């Protein structure tokens, strides 16, 4: 838990640091989870299967159909009502599931030339970091989540957009660098967004590794959502100029964790000196 002396975009900067960390991990992608998700569609009733889009057939919508006798994946075209009497749906056999994505969600992978265009900013963000895998700039990853403010998604994005970073290029707003799917025109996303107001996440994910909560209310929403966040690390960024009763609620919540967690009194060596005015507290499982 990070205590800030004022309202800030600290949660977004921490999420950006997490994105940078996982750009160094060759396994930080959704490939296997993505395949499983799509194949699980076969278990649903046909009418309940999610709409899929296929990069090689941009004019059509599909549903997962089945595996054929040779184990090849198949997707079936969804006909528009006006077309039903004119043609039969067609099936694509041996489809590459990496080229199929869910409507309203980012692509899994994109080709050269369409990758995240901010590679230099990510690479030069921190000193003494590992190398960025170029393939990660072309692949969606859902292991890290930003939990936005309960005032609404637009409120969260507004304060993040006031921070700009650059590395020999035109400044880029922080909200764009985070690559949240609905916030940028990029085809892939390296950060999930949890809307604390609606309690909805912008796409399904494999088990999360980290969630960054923007504010006390967002932290409490994350804390209460065991199904989604029960197995991941949590970083909460709290403005300590809040009303006393809100701060007391945070203390009360933390005290409930005492039977499962212990405070880490000695900070890890890899954490740099904490800036004046900012406090950091860490709890670990017993």
Model pLDDT for residues 247-276, shown as the tens digit of each residue: 999 999 999 888 899 998 888 887 888 889
Are 175 and 260 in the same domain?
yes
The pLDDT assigned to 86 comes to: 58
What is the per-residue pLDDT for 18? 96
Q: Evaluate if residue 84 carries a pLDDT over 60.
A: no
Mean pLDDT, residues 274-279: 91
> How far is residue 107's CA from residue 125's CA, in Å, rounded to a whole number?
25
Task: Please choose, from the candidates 116, 149, 157, the residue with its C-alpha nearest in 3D space to the C-alpha of residue 133.
Answer: 116
Nearest-angstrom CA–CA distance, 220 and 250 = 8
Same domain for 146 and 253, yes or no, is yes
Of 102, 128, 154, the last residue of a domain is: 102
pLDDT at 67 over 90: no
Q: How far is CA 75 from the centre of its chain?
A: 27
Task: Work out the average pLDDT over 43-71.
Answer: 88
- Does 80 share its domain with 123? no
pTM: 0.92
Mean pLDDT, residues 164-173 taken together? 91
Q: Do residues 167 and 278 both lie within one domain?
A: yes
Domain end position, chosen among 58, 86, 102: 102
Q: Note whether 10 and 96 are same-domain residues.
A: no
Share of the chain above pLDDT 90, in %: 76
Cβ(179)–Cβ(190) under 8 Å?
Answer: yes
Q: Name the percent of the chain lying above pLDDT 70.
A: 98
Dihedral, 192, 197, 200, 201 alpha carbons, nearest 10:
0
* Residue 85: pLDDT band with limits 50, 70, 90: low
Quick: pLDDT tens for 185-223: 999 999 999 999 999 999 988 889 999 999 999 999 999
User: Is the domain of 155 the same as that of 216?
Assistant: yes
Rounded mean pLDDT of the chain? 92
Q: Are residues 137 and 11 in the same domain?
A: yes
Q: Are 194 and 129 part of one and the same domain?
A: yes
Q: Where are the beta strands (DSSP E) in 1-143?
A: 2-4, 52-54, 61-67, 73-77, 91-93, 100-102
Tell me, yes or no, whether 89 and 225 share the same domain: no
Q: What is the predicted pLDDT for the residue at 126? A: 86
Please list the residues that pair with 210 across neighbouring strands.
Answer: 144, 233
Residue 172 host element (H or E): strand 172-173
Q: Which domain holds residue 46?
A: 33-102
From first CA to last CA, the distance across the chain in angstroms is 17
Q: In what order do the strands lie in the sheet with 73-77?
A: 91-93, 73-77, 61-67, 52-54, 100-102
Judgement on whether residues 95 and 21 belong to the same structural domain of the protein: no
121 shares its domain with 169: yes
Instruction: Convert the pLDDT of each residue in 86-128 to its tens digit.
Output: 567 789 988 999 999 999 999 999 998 889 999 999 999 988 8
Question: How many helical (H) and strand (E) elements, i.e. helices and strands, does the chain have?
Answer: 8, 16
Number of domains present in the structure of the chain: 2
pLDDT at 131 over 80: yes
CB-based contacts of 202: which residues, under 8 Å, 6+ apart?
A: 105, 180, 181, 182, 192, 193, 194, 195
Q: Does position 140 have pLDDT exceeding 60, yes or no? A: yes
Residue finishing a domain among 102, 125, 150: 102
Residue 272: the pLDDT is 82
The verdict on 76 and 133 lying in the same domain is: no
């Amino acid at each position: 838990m990070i205590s800030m002396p004022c309202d800030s975009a600290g949660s977004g900067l921490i999420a950006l640091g997490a994105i940078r960390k996982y750009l160094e991990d060759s396994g930080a992608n959704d490939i296997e989870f993505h395949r499983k998700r799509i194949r699980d569609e076969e278990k649903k009733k046909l009418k309940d299967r999610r709409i899929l889009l296929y990069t090689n057939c941009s004019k059509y919508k599909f549903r997962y159909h089945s595996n054929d006798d040779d184990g090849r994946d198949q997707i079936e075209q969804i006909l528009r009502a006006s077309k039903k009497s004119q043609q039969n749906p067609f099936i694509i056999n041996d489809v590459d599931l990496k080229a199929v994505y869910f409507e309203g969600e980012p692509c899994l992978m994109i080709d050269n030339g369409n990758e995240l265009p901010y590679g230099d900013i990510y690479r030069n963000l921190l000193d003494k970091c590992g190398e960025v895998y170029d393939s990660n700039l072309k692949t969606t990853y859902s292991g890290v989540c930003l939990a936005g403010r309960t005032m609404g998604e637009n409120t969260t994005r507004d304060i993040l957009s006031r921070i700009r970073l650059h590395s020999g290029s035109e400044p880029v707003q922080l909200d764009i660098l985070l690559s949240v799917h609905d916030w940028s025109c990029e085809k892939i996303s390296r950060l999930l967004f949890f809307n604390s107001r609606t309690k909805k996440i912008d796409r399904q994910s494999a088990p999360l590794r980290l969630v960054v909560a923007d504010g006390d209310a967002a932290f409490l929403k994350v804390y209460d959502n065991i199904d989604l966040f029960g197995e991941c690390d949590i970083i909460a960024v709290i403005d300590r100029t809040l009303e006393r009763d809100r701060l007391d609620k945070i203390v009360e919540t933390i005290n409930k964790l005492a039977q499962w967690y212990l405070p880490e009194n000695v900070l890890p060596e890899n954490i740099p000196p904490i800036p004046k005015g900012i406090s950091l507290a860490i709890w670990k499982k017993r």
